[in-house]
Structure 1
Amino acid sequence: MNQSTNHFHRIACFSLIGLILLGIVWETWLAPYKPGHYLFVIKVIPLLFPLRGVFQKNIYTMQWASMFIMFYFMEGVVRAMGDAEYMSRWLAGLEIILSISFFISSIYFVRPYKKIAKAAKKEALAAEKALQKSNS
């Protein structure tokens, strides 16, 4: 579309990749929930589903991924408030920042496309009304 949408797209891509890498490193090396148990790394798997669509600038994927990412925001808030370990709290804060940056950048990326779609729908309705008037 224009330079600003490309900028927002890049931020969305980097923050999604950042969340994936953060989840892997967090749950395997830096501060696993239980030392030696790497099962919680599976929380990263759902982040892989929107990855292709986000890279391809798929509007529909960007829309549902922006809502989906809020689960990671919630996890970050819960773990920032509830984990006893300092490193885990710091990583939770980073998860909050990355999820918010994905959410905001994807919303702003989709915004111009939504305006175009609304205008086209409004124009189609006006054309339909004019056609109905002429047929009456």
Structure 2
Amino acid sequence: MNNTKLLQNISIVSLIALIFLSVAWEGWLAPLKPGGSMLIFKVLPLLAPLFGILHGKRYTYQWSSLMILVYFTEGAVRAWSDHGISQILAMIEVAFTVTFFFATIYYARATGRAH
């Protein structure tokens, strides 16, 4: 498997994992309100780059690497301020976002015009 395919697969897995984590977190694992919260809709922007990431579209990798920083920020703040399972989920969110960020920027670099 070449580097670009590996980076694409890492991006795909981390993005899909982040989508599932967000739904589970706000749906039933540790929602802000019992029974689920409206924060479950934070997953919707994560669906926007999914098609482009799945199909290796370089431009999608470029802009989604910036968009993911919003989720990194949320995870970092909640890892610092929340307690219990929510804090653990926030740390996992940070791990997924960092993985996605680096995989996408290196994928965009590897598939650049000069390559």
**TM superposition outliers: structure 1 runs of 4+ over 6 Å:** none
Residue 24 of structure 1 deviates from its aligned partner by 0.2
Identical residues among aligned pairs (%): 42
- The within-5 A match list for 1:1-136 is 3-83=2-82, 85-114=83-112, 116=114
Amino acid of the structure 1 residue aligned with 2:2: Q
Which structure has more helix as a fraction of its residues? 1
Q: Which has the higher contact order (CA 8 A, sep 6+)?
A: 2
- Larger Rg computed on CA atoms: 1
- Which shows bigger deviation, 44-53 or 2-11? 2-11
Residue 34 of structure 1 deviates from its aligned partner by 1.6
Amino acid of the structure 2 residue aligned with 1:94: I
Q: Secondary structure at the match of 1:116?
A: coil
Residue 90 of structure 1 deviates from its aligned partner by 0.2
TM-score (norm. length: structure 1): 0.81
Residue 38 of structure 1 deviates from its aligned partner by 2.4
CA RMSD of aligned residues (A): 1.3
Which sections of structure 1, spanning at least 5 residues, go unmatched? 118-136
Which sections of structure 2, spanning at least 5 residues, go unmatched? none
The count of residues paired between Structure 1 and Structure 2 equals 115
- Aligned residues of 2:28 and 2:35 also touching (Cα < 8 A): no
